[in-house]
């Protein structure tokens, strides 16, 4: 039976509860990877209509495995929740709806209607706020649909490459991966 058919038989409150279970990460409360995979499809369509395109940031907590090994998984879970909260507090209301827990200690942000420069500045603000509030640091990889990447696949690959540039550069920094000289 299709999900829509099942959901149509529920009350609005029940539908909301089921949607939350399907779309939200239970630990941090932000959207999950399943929701990201759906929304990233919309990003390309939206970006086509926006003159500035859209940015994508991958945020990775530096040395998170070492943190878990030293302080335990319960403290690691607290850090994940706190980092998610700091990210949310650091964004415009409109952008808060585009935060996803992508995997273990990685978060992704879709920043609609922005430039590479603006996306980098947002990444830098997030990096500083996490550092000042959470007792951990993050590395951020930035990509942009239109200015850097030409497809959804490239957008993710380029942001991931930028993240590794930040990690190799010493962590606790924001990087943009340009395929061509900038």
DSSP state of 24: B
CA nearest neighbour of 137 among 71, 38, 33, 66: 66
DSSP state of 92: -
Q: What are the structure tokens assigned to 5, written together?
A: 């058919």
Three-class SS state of 91: coil
Residues annotated as catalytic are 105
Round to the nearest angstrom and report the end-to-end CA distance of the chain.
51
DSSP state of 171: S
């Amino acid at each position: 039976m299709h999900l829509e058919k099942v959901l149509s038989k529920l009350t609005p409150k029940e539908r909301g509860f089921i949607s939350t279970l399907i779309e939200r990460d239970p630990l941090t409360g932000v959207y999950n990877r399943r929701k990201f995979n759906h929304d990233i499809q919309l990003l390309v369509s939206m970006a086509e209509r926006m003159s500035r395109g859209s940015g994508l940031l991958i945020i990775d907590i530096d040395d998170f495995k070492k943190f878990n090994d030293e302080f335990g998984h319960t403290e690691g879970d607290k850090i994940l929740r706190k980092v998610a909260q700091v990210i949310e507090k650091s964004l415009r209301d409109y952008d808060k709806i585009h935060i996803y827990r992508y995997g273990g200690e990685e978060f992704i942000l879709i920043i609609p209607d922005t430039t590479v420069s603006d996306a980098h500045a947002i990444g830098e603000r997030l990096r500083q706020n996490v550092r000042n509030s959470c007792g951990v640091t993050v590395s951020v990889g930035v990509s942009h649909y239109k200015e850097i990447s030409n497809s959804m696949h490239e957008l993710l690959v380029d942001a991931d490459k930028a993240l590794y540039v930040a990690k190799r550069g010493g962590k606790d920094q924001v990087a943009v991966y340009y395929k061509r000289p900038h």
